[in-house]
Structures are given as C-alpha cells and as structure tokens.
C-alpha cells in the first residue's frame, strides 16, 4: 500500500490505543449480554459452591484433607469457569463478525481485552466471594490467614483464566474445539499443581514442569493463606507470578486480534 500525501492540519486524529470510556462501555456490553442469559450466570455462581459443598462431605471424616483441597479448589474453580466463559465468548465474537466490525471501528484492542477482563473479573469477584464465604463460614474451612487474601488469589486466578481463554480462542475454529482446549490447557496444570500430591514429591522432570505452570503458584498461594496468619514472602511471590502470567497472556491474546485477516 502506498502512502498518500496527508493534508496539512489533518482534522481526523487517530483514535487513542486505549480509552477508559470505551473499555467501560465494552465491559457494560458484555455484562448486559450475560444478563440476557440468567442461566449462565446461575451456573457460574452456583456450580463452584455445590462442588465445594460436595467435597466437604466427601471428606466428612477427614476435615484436614478438606482444608487442603478446599483451599486449592477455591483458586482453581474461578480459573476454569472464566477460561470456559471467555474462550466461548471471544470465539462467538470472532465467528459472528462483530469482532471484525469492532476492529474496523475506532476501538483499541486494549479496550476490547480490558473490557472483557473487567466484566468477567467482576463476575469472578462475585463467584469467588460466594464460594469463599460458603467454605469459611458454612462448611468450616479452617483458614489461618485472612479470607480476604483467599479472595484476592481467587480473583487473580480468575483473571488468569480469562487471559488463557482469550488467548486460546484464537486457535479454536469452533465451539467444539474451544471446549476441548479446556482439558488440553487446564488438565495438565490441574495434575501438576500440587492438588493431588505435594509438588516436591513428583518425578523431577514433572516437578520442573510444574514450576513453570501458573496454576501451581495459584495453589501455592492458597496454601500459604491456609497455613500462615499473615502475609508471607512466598504468598507475595505467588500472587505476583499469577498476576504476571495473566498480564503476559492478555498481551499475547491482544496480539492474536488482527485487524487485517485473510
């Protein structure tokens, strides 16, 4: 494409790469779409609570086991739900042509991504608050640290799930594929994150692999809160790793949004 000479004092400024109003409008739009789908909201909020409650009574005779696994799951649920919801939502945006339309409009990619992250982040706060509250006050999850820190990790995990879902949706051509990415991306992390067995007892190669997977840090962070009364260095490190991974994957996700496609 050749460049045409620009008229002096061009009256049409380039749109800003990121605008808070456009981000808020996008987040409001995503939430409005969800509001027309109350069943999805109900499933997102209720299913984690039911699972945690189920787990509590599965380990009825061993409350310590529930403490360990329950806290880890509080970090894992938001990640899984947000992964699924985001990957399907973005895939729909791609296949319905609305993504192409938006990218042909003065909308920054950062507006779109942060709008999605904000909307699903809010939902994640709600989901995590419900699940954490239920676990701590009703099911008797024994947490030594502050439940607020549990909530913080849960929200960061949800953000990571949103980021992964957004990224993966670029590689899925259909809803079928998008759903299959869930086991492909999350199951290995689930097996290696220390939920089933402590990470330092794993075969060394797997141990090393679990060191580079973000979910391991989500679970470690949860366990720090479970066992220590105050903020530990390890907790700060875990939270920072999860946040860093989420931001990195969000940036990668932004790179998969192309204004020009074949």
Residues of this chain that interact with another protein (CB under 8 A) are: 1-4, 6-7, 10, 12-15, 19, 21-22, 25-26, 28-29, 32-33, 36-37, 96-98, 100-107, 111, 258-262
Cβ–Cβ < 8 Å for 213, 191? no
- Which residue's CB is nearer to another protein, number 92 or number 227? 92
Could you tell me the smallest distance in angstroms from the CB atom of residue 163 to another protein? 22
Least distance (Å) between residue 93 CB and another protein: 9
Measured from the CB of residue 105, what is the shortest distance to another protein in angstroms?
5
- We find the least distance from the C-beta atom of residue 59 to another protein, in angstroms, to be 40
**Contact of 160 with 186, CB cutoff 8 Å:** no
Q: Which is nearer to another protein, 12 or 204 (CB)?
A: 12
Min separation Cβ 4 and another protein, Å: 5
Q: Is residue 245 a contact partner of residue 214, using CB atoms and an 8 Å limit? A: yes
Count the neighbouring beta carbons within 10 Å of the beta carbon of residue 99: 20
Output 4 or 61, the one with its CB closest to another protein. Answer: 4
Q: Which residues contact 100 (CB under 8 A, 6 or more apart)?
A: 261
Measured from the CB atom, the residue of 76 and 102 that comes closer to another protein is 102
CA gap 235, 237 in Å, rounded: 5
Q: Which is nearer to another protein, 70 or 108 (CB)?
A: 108
Sign of CA dihedral 182, 187, 192, 197: positive
Q: CA angle, 47 as apex, 44 and 48 as ends, to 5°?
A: 90
Residue 157 near residue 75, CB atoms below 8 Å: yes
């Amino acid at each position: 494409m050749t460049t045409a000479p620009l008229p002096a004092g061009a009256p049409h400024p380039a749109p800003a790469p990121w605008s808070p109003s456009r981000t808020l409008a996008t987040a409001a739009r995503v939430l409005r779409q969800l509001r027309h789908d109350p069943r999805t909201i109900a499933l997102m909020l209720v299913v984690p609570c039911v699972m945690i409650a189920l787990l509590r009574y599965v380990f009825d005779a061993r409350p310590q086991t529930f403490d360990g696994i329950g806290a880890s799951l509080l970090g894992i649920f938001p990640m899984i739900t947000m992964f699924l919801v985001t990957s399907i939502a973005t895939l729909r945006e791609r296949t319905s042509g609305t993504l192409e339309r938006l990218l042909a409009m003065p909308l920054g990619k950062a507006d779109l991504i942060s709008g999605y992250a904000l909307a699903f982040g809010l939902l994640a706060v709600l989901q995590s608050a419900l699940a954490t509250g239920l676990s701590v006050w009703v099911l008797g999850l024994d947490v030594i640290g502050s439940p607020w820190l549990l909530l913080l990790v849960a929200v960061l995990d949800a953000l990571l799930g949103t980021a992964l879902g957004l990224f993966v949706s670029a590689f899925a051509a259909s809803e079928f594929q998008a759903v299959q990415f869930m086991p492909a991306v999350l199951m290995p992390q689930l097996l290696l994150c220390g939920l089933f067995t402590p990470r330092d007892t794993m075969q060394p190669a797997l141990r090393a692999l679990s060191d580079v997977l973000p979910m391991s840090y989500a679970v470690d962070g949860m366990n720090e809160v479970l066992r220590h009364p105050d903020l530990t260095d390890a907790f700060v490190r875990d939270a920072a790793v999860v946040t860093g991974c989420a931001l990195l994957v969000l940036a990668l996700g932004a790179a998969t949004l192309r204004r020009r496609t074949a």
